[in-house]
Structure 1
Amino acid sequence: MAKRIHNLIDDSELFARLARGDERAFEIIFHHYNRRLYPFILKMVRAEEAARELVQDIFVHLWLKRELLADIEHPTSYLFHVASNRTLNFMKQVSRNAQLMAQLAAGATELSYPTEERLAFRETAALIDTAVDQLPTQRKRIWELSRQEGLSHEEIAKRLGISRETVKKQITHAKRYIRRFLADRGSMLSLAVFMAMS
């Protein structure tokens, strides 16, 4: 139904209706552009959870700023411009967060970051630890050997007497669970840091 209506109304008119608070216009725009924005963002961030959250963030932004959309002449260009800017900002944040996490992990005490940011990262680390604690016993052990002791897949396999392929699969499952754990709690910052670290 959305496609049929969209074919009868151009994007500029949809944006004008959205600017007036038309929820149906918003729904049509979402369904039409969601399929295009997601792969565009995914190519940049290379993480499905982050791409999905960024798309949602873009449409939340679109709704909250809807009164500014009445005079948008090229809606497609506008949306992709917004997507590019928000994705680049996200990637800069990930890079900055990863550097801070590396400092914290190394035991750095003199950090040039605000106290609030350091507290946020300690909370992030605690949240990740909570997720790891919920992994099955063997998976948790493999994860700790990989991330805490820095062992390679081959070294872990030898130590535990299992195949390298098993180690690889268990780490993949662990990553998937931790990402889902963080995403379910709506922690964009924690998810970003975890993806940068892993």
Structure 2
Amino acid sequence: MTSYYYLSDGELAERLHLGDHRAFSQIYERFFGVLYKHAFNRFRDQEQAKDVVHELFEDLWMKREHLLINSNLSHYLYTATRNKILKIIAHQNVVTAYATKQSVMIKPDEGLTDHRVRERQLAEIIEKEIQSLPPKMKTAFELSRKHNYTYKEIAEKMDITEQSVRSHVKNALKILRTKFGILIFLVVFFYLFSFF
């Protein structure tokens, strides 16, 4: 019987791709500590660091059939963690900017409930605009921004070239930027990662 402890990263990645639970468990045991330490160094918050790494491993399992990791598993996991951290930091910056702008516009007695109603309404408007994009553009945009697929993964899934995927996502961003303006365009990404 194979001892998963002694398998190389590349062998674990291959077995993960085939849906091997034990390979996934070994990857988790092998990399959780170092990825958690990296996330903690950025956030200085134990729970937030754990959440980021757990979410990364959840994505890893859910997308295992479509991932093209090859032999450099550690590089893939480190990059994926860094990208999640950067999205959270960008999200926090957008939330701060949005909250600052809203605090000027909202009366003190409107309270938190009204703020959340406005957030939900804005999320619905954004989603409606995304749904009105041309079908292929919408699919490419959602796979990229809501599900964090790479252009290569999207190209394979949609059976189109990576260049076509890039064009679809670029055009979708251009349309949304035109409709929402710069500040609201940034807020689009806040809602994409919060509500969808």
Q: Alignment partner for residue 96 of structure 1, among 94, 97, 116?
A: 94
Secondary structure of 2:34's counterpart equals: helix
Q: How big is each residue's C-alpha offset from its partner over 1:87-128, in whole Å with a ceiling of 9 and x where there is no partner? A: 10111001101121223333348xxxxx99942499xxxxxx
1:5 CA drift (Å): 3.2
Match of 2:23 in 1: 25
Contact map agreement 1:15 1:69 (CA 8 A) in 2: no
Match of 1:119 in 2: 119
Q: Pick 1 or 2: higher relative contact order, CA cutoff 8 A, min separation 6.
A: 1
Q: Distance in 2 between matches of 1:11 and 1:56?
A: 19
Match of 1:14 in 2: 12
Query: Counterpart of 2:87 in structure 1: which amino acid?
Result: N
Q: Distance in 2 between matches of 1:47 and 1:120?
A: 28
TM-score, normalisation: structure 2: 0.52
| RMSD (CA atoms) | 3.1
1:42 CA drift (Å): 1.1
Match of 1:35 in 2: 33
Secondary structure of 1:67's counterpart equals: coil
Match of 1:83 in 2: 81
TM-score, normalisation: structure 1: 0.51
The answer to whether 1:106 aligns with 2:101 is: no
Query: Counterpart of 2:99 in structure 1: which amino acid?
Result: M
Contact map agreement 1:16 1:69 (CA 8 A) in 2: no
Mark the structure with the bigger radius of gyration: 1
Contact map agreement 2:32 2:53 (CA 8 A) in 1: yes
Q: Give runs of aligned pairs for residues 49-64 of structure 1, distance below 5 A.
A: 49-64=47-62
Contact map agreement 1:37 1:83 (CA 8 A) in 2: yes
Contact map agreement 1:17 1:25 (CA 8 A) in 2: yes
Q: Distance in 1 between matches of 2:45 and 2:101?
A: 24
Contact map agreement 1:72 1:78 (CA 8 A) in 2: no
